[in-house]
Structure 1
Amino acid sequence: MFLKKVALAGAVAGLMGSAAFAADCGPSGKSVRILGSDFPAIQAVAGAAEANCAANAGEFTINLRDNTRDMMNQALTPNPAEYTSVIVANSTLTQLMNDGLVRPLDEYVAKYGQHLKPSQLITIGGKVMAVAFMANSQHLYSRTDILGQAGVEGIPATVEEIVAAAEKIRAAGIMEHPIVMNMKVGWNVGEIFNLFFFANGGELFKPGSAEPNVNSPEGIAALGTIKSLLEYAHPDHLSHASNETQGLWEAGKAAMAIMWGSRGGAVLDDEGSSDEVTSNTVLSAAPTAGGGSTPAATLWWDGVTVAKNIPDEDAEATFAALVSGLTPDLMEEHNDKAIWLIEGFQAGPAAAGVSATAAAGAKPYPMIPFINLMHNALGSELVDFYKGDESAEDALADVEAAYRTSAKEAGFLQ
């Protein structure tokens, strides 16, 4: 068992220098097979690896898709594994490590990683298990023109201010459903709870243990906070994940949103939207709630891993290819697609929300081996509350019961 928190706020604020770098693709004629989520930053990293090293490889494939977390363990379990690398985040690294499916990277870092910053090396139990290339968090997106039209002064900083602004927008007849959030049944439902649970001062587990701790005043407050926002959300919010919320924003169908910072570059660019939307969109810190000072957000990193159940030379070639793209050259073309942890990154408007959220003290998403069990329980058991079929107390009791069952099966609880 390992317990680890990664200080992403420090990584965002304290990027360190590195030496110049020339691509080295490792052993030739080997197989590189990459699995990752499909969004612009990962597209850029995988694309750079392919451009640099596909000619050196015997096989080079990239599979970027939604919901990789649901299939990555199964894909890496056979020997040989289906992929030689999975691009992961805080929670999915623990998911793979729990099953022993990724290998330490220290020897590859020593050989191919001279250009990497210490802040990029995700070290657990004294071993480098992933190389981070970007930071991420949820934060507030606002349409300043719509807020102004409704008589709202400034950008909302608290949930209460967001709700008050939404009521003014609705009352003025501007927009009936001015708020969008990622509330799709499953993982997103669990993550939205985490945001507002942490903002209300909650801790998911009792100190130093795997005992659940969500059926609490902080848990009830979190659900009340979320329900207040959903009063102004689109009626089909339980089907909305990142692609849907971004689409609504770019179509001009929302005035305030809690979305991932990694969507900022795409929202602010000149593709898929209108000048009316992009020129009036402001990215700011995630809101606080209930008089607290902690932003309703979790800090994340995304990074590369190498599968355990593959030939060593495939592993080496995979690592070399992936880190070959994590250089200032990538920043020249893709600077605004992420909050990069890579030398040469220049923070612009698309980075403002994540940077402000990190600076305000948002918590890192927990890197503990049983976090996925809790997240899954939240994602499945809170839906009845949002549908109005169950009380907050009963829903949270169901979460703890479902978590206990899975945690006992996994050996985390007796």
Structure 2
Amino acid sequence: VKLKTFVFAIVALFATSFAQADCAFTGSGSVKILSNDFPAINAINAAALECNSSSLTVTANATTEHQDIQVEALTANPANFNVVVVASSSIVTLNSAGLIRPLNDLVAKYGSHLAPSQLATIDGNIMGIAFMANAQHLFYRTDILEAAGVAPPKTYEEIIAAAEAIRSAGLMQYPITGTYKAGWNLAEEFVNLFLGTGGEFFEPGTAAVSVNNGNGVATLNMMKQLASYMHPDYLTFDSALCAPQMAQGEAAIANLWGSRAAYVLDPANQADDVTGNIAFASAATIGGGNIPSSTLWWDGWTIATNQTDEEAETAFRVMLEGTDAEMVQGNNDLTVWLDSAYEIQPAAAGVFATASAGAKSYPMVPYMGMLHTALGSNIPDFLQGKESASQTLTDITDAYNAAAKEAGYL
């Protein structure tokens, strides 16, 4: 999956009310939307619901369990939902199963205003319309770095040196925090760093995994170095814990999701000595590489296959209303919208810097999820000193191969 040009997004966590604009589309029938549940998406749903009329019924089911019900809901014929809001990691599954339809004709007819950065394209077909994006990037305390006599780090090697300087100066015992919770979060940290080394997860054009190599060893060794400057409970830390650690002054350096930047910047969440001392930058490079060690993600909407062409067209036009410039302008601080009407906010700086520096998109192939699971399950043993890097990478490869063979990819 690719977005022709990728400029990226941040979810601000504090807004709960949404500016509304009247719907300019008059249609008939019904449009049912299935989506995740967080402020930016809720704003879109609210704008789409403005299209309700005596002839058109629009409803939205916003739930954090949306991914668990997508496939079954769209496999029904007719589909239980006309529209499904997806992330870059979930569109591949729906597309591979033939559950979402190409939008080329509808984009040509009604979407001339959409930016190239919004067109999620698979094999030449526009399969989704992206509206926001996200990435992990550097968060740091300007005052702590200054007190330690170090410049803001641009490489992971400089992050390690900065952490040592902070610890040696007695400023913090655990200067680094990160989303190292065993499972999905920890695996994502490997993904970020491995891509930064220039590694490719699979042999070209195949599902054969390719992490048991020098890039994989370098990635694991860097993760262990970083962990040595984290609180001993780091294998329990996700972004919901790391963001307060930065805001409360418990850590000075982190590679966190841009969607947590607004929270960390909010004085209401900050310790007094943190206010005014948080800055953002691109994710760091590693090992002399020239791209940020991060992945770019997007959220967007798709149209179900199992409905009539007329229903699909109505759903498409309702979602254009839900994601139009008026909605963006009225809810500008909820996210970094992929729309020309968006005005960049301070919390977006790190995501934009990471995207501009050439960070890669998360690999959107149907078997990546199996590798992600294998990574998250096996890396803790290495970090805890129970296995060598080589053995851990062998275990990861074996676990992936078993899952991929069972699924028919190998």
With structure 2 as the length reference, what TM-score do the two structures score?
0.87
Question: Following superposition of structure 1 onto structure 2, how do residues 133-172 of structure 1 map, counting pairs within 5 Å?
Answer: 133-149=131-147, 151-172=148-169
Which sections of structure 1, spanning at least 5 residues, go unmatched?
Answer: 13-20
Relative distance call for 1:408 and 1:83 in structure 2 (3 A) is: same
CA contact (8 A) 2:2 2:120 kept: no
CA contact (8 A) 1:261 1:338 kept: no
Aligned to 1:18: none
Is 1:398 matched up with 2:401?
no
Is 1:35 matched up with 2:35?
yes
Question: How many Å separate the matches in 1 of 2:183 and 2:72?
Answer: 19
Shift of 1:330: 2.9
Aligned to 1:382: 379
Give aligned-pair identity as a percent. 45
Aligned to 2:283: 286
* Equivalent pairs, count: 398
CA contact (8 A) 2:166 2:172 kept: yes
Aligned to 1:337: 334
Aligned to 2:60: 61
SS of equivalent to 2:181: coil
Shift of 1:39: 4.1
Question: How many Å separate the matches in 2 of 1:188 and 1:126?
Answer: 32
Aligned to 1:236: 233
Shift of 1:215: 0.5
Residue in structure 2 matching 1:121, options 119, 122, 134: 119
Residue-by-residue CA offset, 1:73-127 (whole Å, 9 max, x unaligned): 3444444545443322222111222222222223443454343223311122332
Relative distance call for 1:315 and 1:7 in structure 2 (3 A) is: closer
SS of equivalent to 1:41: helix
Q: Which moved more, 1:270-279 or 1:115-124?
A: 270-279
Relative distance call for 1:172 and 1:256 in structure 2 (3 A) is: same
Relative distance call for 1:284 and 1:68 in structure 2 (3 A) is: farther
SS of equivalent to 1:235: coil
Residue-by-residue CA offset, 1:357-392 (whole Å, 9 max, x unaligned): 122221222222322222222222323223332221
Question: Following superposition of structure 1 onto structure 2, how do residues 351-362 of structure 1 map, counting pairs within 5 Å?
Answer: 351-362=348-359
SS of equivalent to 1:259: strand
Question: Following superposition of structure 1 onto structure 2, how do residues 64-103 of structure 1 map, counting pairs within 5 Å?
Answer: 64-65=63-64, 68-103=66-101
With structure 1 as the length reference, what TM-score do the two structures score?
0.86
Question: How many Å separate the matches in 2 of 1:43 and 1:30?
Answer: 19
CA contact (8 A) 2:24 2:321 kept: yes
> 2:30 is aligned with what amino acid?
K
> 1:199 is aligned with what amino acid?
G
Aligned to 1:46: 45
SS of equivalent to 2:86: strand
Question: How many Å separate the matches in 1 of 2:5 and 2:234?
Answer: 29
SS of equivalent to 1:218: helix
CA contact (8 A) 1:198 1:296 kept: yes
Question: Following superposition of structure 1 onto structure 2, how do residues 242-257 of structure 1 map, counting pairs within 5 Å?
Answer: 242-257=239-254
Question: How many Å separate the matches in 2 of 1:94 and 1:166?
Answer: 39
Question: How many Å separate the matches in 2 of 1:111 and 1:266?
Answer: 40
Question: How many Å separate the matches in 1 of 2:31 and 2:313?
Answer: 10
Relative distance call for 1:358 and 1:99 in structure 2 (3 A) is: same
Shift of 1:29: 4.8
* Alignment RMSD: 2.8
Shift of 1:130: 0.3
Which sections of structure 2, spanning at least 5 residues, go unmatched?
Answer: 9-20
> 1:63 is aligned with what amino acid?
A
Relative distance call for 1:179 and 1:102 in structure 2 (3 A) is: same
Residue-by-residue CA offset, 1:333-374 (whole Å, 9 max, x unaligned): 333433321021222322211222122221222222322222
Residue-by-residue CA offset, 1:211-239 (whole Å, 9 max, x unaligned): 11000110010011111111122333223
Shift of 1:68: 4.7
